[in-house]
Amino acid sequence: MNNLASPEQITATWILIIVYMAVILFFVIRGAIKIKSISDYAVGSISFSPLAVGLALAASMTSAATFIINPGFIALYGLGGVLSFGIVMPLAIFVSLILFTKGFRKYGSNVKALTMAQWMGKMYNSEKYALFFAFLSLLLITFIVLICVGLTQVISNSLNADPTIVLASIIIFIFGYMMFGGANSMVYTNAIQATIMLIVAIILLGSGFEHFENGVGAFQEKLSTIGPFFGEWSNPDSFLFRDFFEIIFCQIVIGIAIVCQPHVITKSLLLKNEKDVNRYLILGIVVLAIFFQVVIVGLYARLHFPDLEIGGESIPMDGIMSAYVVSKFPVYVGVIVVLGLISAGLSTLEGLIQSLSSTLTTDLINPLFENQLYNDTNREKKEIMVNKIVIVFLALISFGLSYQQLVAPNLSVGIFAQNGVYAYFSAAFVPVLFGMFVKNVKLNTVFISSLIAIIIHFSVYYGRFLPYMKETVNNPAIASTAALIISVSVGLIIHFVTNKEESMSSVSVQKELENV
């Protein structure tokens, strides 16, 4: 893509990035001093205010996907994407957050769970089930890749720099400081990032106000000039927003299940007092509601680049948002917006690295190699060292996959990330749901449900079984919806059949005893 940034923009961006790095390192060093064990790294050793954790929740849920990648989908396919990503999914997420957070936190605090996999293992009294979810958590690397690619697009366009060098620098810096800070520093950096993102969200949403001078109807007419379905609430020519089943039904299902990700649902474990949960949820949801609307900026970007070209060269989908920011705003507003986009990526990336490394260390490596790695002396220090090695491993894998997505994406890194992340929370949904709302659930019930969810998701996606899955680029939400519906149905059937058989068996035994 052509170099868009002026020399003034490049200088201002460099100054901003250096200052930003210094602020982050300050909080990392401050947090690292208080880390004495892997528990401190995972859930923190200090008390956090519900406001700070609420902002951290909003920042970590609305990542580079919301601020950088998803607006690109809207720029390609129009108003249907706004209905899907900006209205339906957020509403489902808010309901799910309220329903799941209190139950998860209550049980997680009681059993001292540090990770999602640990929560699963303790809820169903099975170390093997915890190990199973620790393996599944590797699917979340796809989300790390999305964020790394999004950040690379923004920073490389803002500095007119080589994307590969930018990618390597991002990974070295972020994974490097996350080896030390953990939850102690992450909550504060996330709160700062969320504040910056809030300011930038307002700037971005205001950047297209001129399109509304003659009313909403006139704006929709402008959108209609882009293409036959661009200004409509569904787009049969798209891969993601073809009809209301895809836009509304699937997004409701996905929105309800999406909170079952470690870096989201485990945020509530950072709260030390039960009374703080309501304030945490209220603030988190209000800020999230604003963040999710940033996808509308994809419409502004398409009106700014009607042909999605600069100087005759096509803009890649993942680079549309960064191209819009660099070309739309004056230098000093532009660098603030760039800072917000960087914050959007960093906030979730930090949470993913922290939760994924903690899971791999405590729930995968420790159970498998405990005798070889640890003895009675200095276990806590050795666990922290193992966690750092895990982060190095994640960095190397993330670089390789991110480079591949930079040079040869299948339309967008967003599809790659959705496929992995949706598969993970499809498997996690039944055990979380049943653990909180269904009594006397057996391990076999949730294990079979999780296994079926994984098999169905990848079979539908790669086997192209459903009519929706016949395109060159397919929608992972369809595969995940099928996986979720089937796994919940199977789970309920197994649960009630098993309980009924046990009930009948106990009645039979009771009658025999009475006859004796």
* Res 263 pLDDT > 90: no
* Res 75 pLDDT > 70: yes
* Res 434 pLDDT > 80: yes
Q: Which two tokens stand for residue 39?
A: 């528990």
Summarize pLDDT for 311-330 with one digit per residue, the tens. 888 999 999 999 999 899 99
* Res 453 pLDDT > 70: yes
Residue 27's pLDDT band, with cuts at 50, 70 and 90, is confident
Could you give the CA distance from residue 212 to residue 225 in angstroms, rounded to a whole number? Answer: 15
Q: What angle do CA 242, 478, 451 make, to 5 degrees?
A: 180
* Res 490 pLDDT > 80: yes
Could you give the CA distance from residue 229 to residue 236 in angstroms, rounded to a whole number? Answer: 8
Position 511 scores a pLDDT of: 58
Position 110 scores a pLDDT of: 59
Residue 465's pLDDT band, with cuts at 50, 70 and 90, is confident
Q: Quote the strand ranges of 6-55, DSSP E.
A: none
Could you give the CA distance from residue 264 to residue 421 in angstroms, rounded to a whole number? Answer: 12
What would the mean pLDDT of 89-108 be, rounded to a whole number? 84
Amino acid at 446: V
> pTM of whole model > 0.75?
yes
Could you give the CA distance from residue 56 to residue 62 in angstroms, rounded to a whole number? Answer: 10
What's the mean per-residue pLDDT of the chain?
87
Position 109 scores a pLDDT of: 57
CB within 8 A of 105, min separation 6: which ones? 268, 269, 271, 274, 277
- Contact in structure between 264 and 60 (CB atoms under 8 Å): yes
* Res 507 pLDDT > 70: no
Position 495 scores a pLDDT of: 94
Least confident of 275-289, 341-355, 432-446, 484-498: 341-355
* Res 108 pLDDT > 70: no
Q: Pairing between strand 313-314 and 309-310?
A: antiparallel
* Res 404 pLDDT > 60: yes
- Residues recorded for the chain: 516
Position 119 scores a pLDDT of: 82
Q: Which two tokens stand for residue 373?
A: 């790695």
Position 283 scores a pLDDT of: 92
Residue of 146 and 40 predicted with greater confidence:
146
- Contact in structure between 188 and 52 (CB atoms under 8 Å): yes
What would the mean pLDDT of 275-286 be, rounded to a whole number? 90
* Res 42 pLDDT > 70: no
**Could you tell me the maximum CA-CA distance found in the chain, to the nearest angstrom?**
95
Could you give the CA distance from residue 243 to residue 508 in angstroms, rounded to a whole number? Answer: 53
Alpha carbon 467 to its chain centroid, in Å, reads 28
Residue of 119 and 93 predicted with greater confidence:
93
Position 509 scores a pLDDT of: 52
Position 367 scores a pLDDT of: 86
Position 204 scores a pLDDT of: 95
What would the mean pLDDT of 502-515 be, rounded to a whole number? 59
- Quote the percentage of the chain above a pLDDT of 90: 51
Q: Which two tokens stand for residue 312?
A: 């005759």
* Res 200 pLDDT > 90: yes
Could you give the CA distance from residue 130 to residue 121 in angstroms, rounded to a whole number? Answer: 4
Q: Give the position of tokens 């799941």.
A: 100
Position 105 scores a pLDDT of: 73
Helix axis angle, 277-292 relative to 89-110, nearest 10°? 150
Domains of the chain with bracketed CATH: 45-515 (1.20.1730.10)
Alpha carbon 84 to its chain centroid, in Å, reads 16
Q: What angle do CA 432, 435, 440 make, to 5 degrees?
A: 150
Summarize pLDDT for 373-395 with one digit per residue, the tens. 776 667 777 888 888 999 999 99
Q: Which two tokens stand for residue 157?
A: 């366009």
Could you give the CA distance from residue 46 to residue 187 in angstroms, rounded to a whole number? Answer: 11
What would the mean pLDDT of 134-146 be, rounded to a whole number? 93
Position 1 scores a pLDDT of: 54
Residue of 212 and 47 predicted with greater confidence:
212
* Res 252 pLDDT > 90: yes
Amino acid at 30: R
Q: Which residues of 151-190 are buried (b: 16+ CB within 10 A; e: fewer)?
A: bbbbbbbbbbbebeebbbebbeebbebbbbbbbbbbbbbb
Could you give the CA distance from residue 388 to residue 375 in angstroms, rounded to a whole number? Answer: 19
Summarize pLDDT for 3-26 with one digit per residue, the tens. 777 888 899 999 999 998 898 888
What would the mean pLDDT of 177-181 be, rounded to a whole number? 79
- Contact in structure between 261 and 421 (CB atoms under 8 Å): yes
On the CB side of 294, CA atoms within 13 Å amount to 30
What would the mean pLDDT of 283-287 be, rounded to a whole number? 93
Summarize pLDDT for 410-425 with one digit per residue, the tens. 888 999 999 999 999 9
